[in-house]
Structures are given as C-alpha cells and as structure tokens.
Amino acid sequence: MILVVGGAGYIGSHLVKELAENEEVIVLDNLSTGHREAVDSRAIFVEGDIGNEEVLQMIFKSYPISAVMHFAAYSLVGESVIDPLKYYENNVASTLKLLKAMLNNHVKNFIFSSTAAVYGIPAVEMIDEKTATSPINPYGHSKLLIEQILADFKNAYGLNYIILRYFNAAGAHESAKIGESHNPETHLIPIILQHLLGHRDKVSIFGSDYKTPDGTCIRDYIHVNDLASAHILALKALLAKEKEAEVYNLGNGHGFSVKEVLETCEKVTGLKAKVEMADRRAGDPARLVASSQKIFSELVWEAERNLEQIISDAWEWHRNQLY
Ligand code: UDP
C-alpha cells in the first residue's frame, strides 16, 4: 500500500487517480488547500496533518505501507516571502515528522515533490539536474532543505528516495472530473481561462521588459497527468531497487512566454482576452526551462502532452468546475 500525503491537492489527486488503477492507496491530507472531492473513491482517505505524530503512527501501524509520496506542501513563492514561518513549519518541520515516522516504522521509500524554484535564477538556457541550486525565496529554500536532509538520511538510515523537480504544472485530467482549483488562484493558465469564462475582467501580464524575445517571462508548462505518470515510473524504480537516491527534472523541454500562452488560450477557446501590461511580479526569473534528458534516459519518461493539450484539458475542467 502506498501512502500519498497531500493526495487531495492539485497534483496529488491526479497521481492518486492513476496510482489507484494498480495499487492500494491511502491519502493523508489536512484539506487546507486540497479538496475531498478530488480524492479518487478507490483510495482510503484520512483527514489529518503530516505534522501530527499520532495520526502518522496510527497509519503506519494500521496499514502495510511500502512507500510514501509527499505532495503536502505550500507552494506559492510570493506567500513564502511574506510568511516564511508558514513555509518552514509545514514544508520542513512537518516533513521531518513524516520522515521520522517512516523511519520508526521501517518504511524506507520516499518520493518527494520538489520544484524548479531550487534553481533560483539559472545561468543556463536549459536547466539540468547538475545546474547549481540557489533558491531566491523561502519556498525554494524549504524544498532544497528537504532535498539535503534526504541525502543525509540516505547515508545515515538507508532511506531510499527520488526527488522530482517540477516546472510549471498545468492542465487537468482528461475526464474533466478533477483539475486545478486554488483559492486565491495565482497561476497564469487558470487565470486566463477564468477571464475567458467571464469570471475576471482582464488578464495582467506581469512584466514586458524581460530579456526574452517578446519581453515576457518564459516557462516550461507540463501537463499534470504527465507529472503523474513520471511519479508512477519513479515509484516502480524505487520499489524494484533500481534507483536509491535520485533527482529528476520534470518539464516539457519547451519554453513558452506569457504572451504565447495567452495566444494559445485564445486559439484553443476561440475567445479574445482583454489584457493589460502590469509591473513585474517579485521573484520571477525571466526564463525557466527544463532539460528532462536524465529521466528520459534512465526511466524512459517524456512529456506526451503539448501546450494546446494542456490548455484544452484545463478549459474543459474550468467550464464545468466541480470544486
Ligand atoms: N503571470 C502573469 N499574470 C498572471 C499570472 C502569472 O503574467 O496573472 C506570469 C508570471 O509572472 C510568470 C508566469 O506567468 O512569469 C507563470 O506564472 P505562474 O504563477 O503560473 O507560475 P510560476 O512560474 O510562478 O510557478
């Protein structure tokens, strides 16, 4: 049985839906940002916090857990700058409690959701796993701290792990039954689609004077179901003992500017957006694009869904949003 913490959240819920096809799954989520409705009905659901040692102990004693997949983190860069305590408390201190409970119960396989934010402002066009890590905000720091802790726990306690550094997760499940639902929403694609649905009066482009071809920031958007399938491959490799301590980037390998994303949303929906140019958002690097060559060569994974597919799946979800 696999324990998925944060399995009611955006990325976790898509993973759980795919994982539950072949595995028994238990989800632990405090529903602070997740949605109970997003959890696949085949999974056992426990409402609780990863920092609650009693709940963790109950789960590890009651179920034969072979691996833990960890999605239960706060993930907004701007919020992390304003309230770093919230980020270090949950993303670091509570994660330590989770790791301690795993070790106490001899569970030694861990899949960790990390982020492109560990790279800060990279000096290279295509970021690979050897690119220097140098976070520029508490969110990125909180994730990198756990990455370092995992390496130490591998050496000391034999904890096996795979770290997956996501670039820009987007899109929704093809069934349109689950998708992205944040409150408040800060991400580009849902904001554009909510505007096109009439829920916002305009879209603001945060900065048009970056050193990029059209002046707007470039990001690597990856479909949430491509992320999910990478997790399944990583889990298999860990359980088969083919991998013991690895880090992989997860991206599409193609950068799209904010303007290009807007144009693609207009193309997919057939609607025209009202756009305003706004100031830069603090902490935004001009370009973040992944090389996913390592996971392609080692686990034979590559992103299958392009930007149009991401946006059309997200559009189906937002038109009929269930939660
Ligand atoms: N962005 C924007 N307007 C918005 C939201 C986002 O111009 O209303 C830009 C943002 O500055 C960044 C890109 O879109 O350059 C992607 O932002 P998002 O918040 O989706 O993801 P992030 O890269 O911060 O994880």
Q: What gap in Å lies between CA 169 and CA 231, rounded to an integer?
A: 13
Q: Which helix (H) or strand (E) holds 170?
A: strand 168-170
Q: What gap in Å lies between CA 271 and CA 184, rounded to an integer?
A: 24
What does the pLDDT average to over 263-291? 95
Residue 166: φ, ψ to 5°? -80, 145
- 31: tokens are 């529903």
User: What digits encode the pLDDT tens for the residues 72-116?
Assistant: 999 998 899 999 999 999 999 999 999 999 999 999 999 999 999
DSSP SS3 for 205: strand
Q: How confident is the model at residue 138 (pLDDT cuts 50, 70, 90)?
A: very high
Q: What gap in Å lies between CA 81 and CA 281, rounded to an integer?
A: 12
Predicted pLDDT of residue 78? 87
Q: How confident is the model at residue 283 (pLDDT cuts 50, 70, 90)?
A: confident
Check residue 165 and give left, alpha or beta (phi > 0: left; psi -120 to 50: alpha): beta
Predicted pLDDT of residue 206? 97
- 231: tokens are 């997790």
Predicted pLDDT of residue 290? 96
Give every strand in the sheet of 287-288, ordered side by side. Answer: 256-257, 218-219, 287-288
Nearest residue (by CA) to ligand 1, atom 3, is: 205
Q: How confident is the model at residue 282 (pLDDT cuts 50, 70, 90)?
A: confident
Residues with active-site annotation: 139
Q: Which atom of ligand 1 is nearest to the CA of 218?
A: 15
* Under 8 Å between Cβ of 92 and 148: no
Predicted pLDDT of residue 284? 86
Q: Which atom of ligand 1 is nearest to the CA of 280?
A: 11
What does the pLDDT average to over 22-32? 98
Q: Which residues line ligand 1 (CB under 6 A)?
A: 77, 168, 186-188, 191, 203-206, 217, 219, 258, 281, 284
* Under 8 Å between Cβ of 242 and 312: no
Other beta carbons within 10 Å of 228: 20
- For a ligand 1 pocket test, name from 281, 289, 307 the mutation site with the most ligand atoms within 8 angstroms of its C-beta: 281
Is 125 exposed, middle or buried (CB count within 10 Å of its CB: 0-12, 13-18, 19+)? exposed
Q: How far is CA 322 from CA 35, 173, 178, 309, in A?
A: 10, 13, 8, 20
Nearest residue (by CA) to ligand 1, atom 18, is: 187
- Against a cut of 0.95, is the pTM above it? yes
Q: What gap in Å lies between CA 287 and CA 278, rounded to an integer?
A: 18
Length of the chain in terms of residues written: 323
- 255: tokens are 């950068």
Which residue from 17, 308, 69, 33 is spatially nearest to 170, judged by alpha carbons?
A: 308
3 CA distance to ligand 1 middle (Å): 31
Q: Which atom of ligand 1 is nearest to the CA of 258?
A: 14
Is 158 exposed, middle or buried (CB count within 10 Å of its CB: 0-12, 13-18, 19+)? exposed
* Under 8 Å between Cβ of 91 and 143: yes
Q: What gap in Å lies between CA 170 and CA 124, rounded to an integer?
A: 24
